[in-house]
Chain A
Amino acid sequence: NAGVTQTPKFQVLKTGQSMTLQCAQDMNHEYMSWYRQDPGMGLRLIHYSVGAGITDQGEVPNGYNVSRSTTEDFPLRLLSAAPSQTSVYFCASSAVPSREKLFFGSGTQLSVL
């Protein structure tokens, strides 16, 4: 009954460091996405994928890369961390088509110093 699993839960980086946030789902969902949550701004879409081998940019993609080699996994890479990337990151998945609800992971709280 795992659903969407994110690791790590907390991370502190120095400016310029790189890291990967992991996301895995066990519901065989085709659609996966990454959001960032900032106070007073709701959630904003970073990148999404509609299936293995297919990714696309969302509203705020700069500074982030993704890949989707399997249906289950959708890692988010920060190439060179900046203080503006301090945020809470959520991975989500859903069945296609587009009317379906999203299932969320528990989030990663990232601080960039």
Chain B
Amino acid sequence: AQSVAQPEDQVNVAEGNPLTVKCTYSVSGNPYLFWYVQYPNRGLQFLLKYITGDNLVKGSYGFEAEFNKSQTSFHLKKPSALVSDSALYFCAVREVNDMRFGAGTRLTVKP
């Protein structure tokens, strides 16, 4: 079965610094990879997806993700973090009738 892993439970960065939230995947065939964000007391919101094509995918709120086939990674990045980016981030891989989520990484951006 397809799966993703998020090796960090928590990431702390200072406002204005670049941020990276890590994700690795294990799939057979071509992966359909996603990043979602969850703000407190809200459902998950779509940030970006990789289906095929360019390895650098741009998404909502200034986020981007880099697909690396040799390292089986799909890390989420942002050049300059904002306090409002503080949230829970989920990496996911789409199967035919399921979306397999990682355990989530809590991002805290401090002023």
Which residues of A approach B to under 8 Å, CB–CB? 4, 31, 33, 40-45, 48, 50, 56, 58-59, 90, 92, 98-99, 101-107
Contacts and interface: CB of A to CB of B under 8 A. Distances in A.
B49 A101 contact: yes
Contacts of A99: 32, 49, 51, 94
Which of A41, A92, A102 neighbours the largest number of chain B CB atoms within 10 Å of its CB? A102
Contact of B103 (A42, A48, A107): A42
B103 A104 contact: no
Contacts of A48: 97-98
Contacts, number: 58
A90 B95 CA distance: 18
Nearest to B4: A42
A39 B101 CA distance: 13
A101 B104 contact: no
A104 B97 contact: no
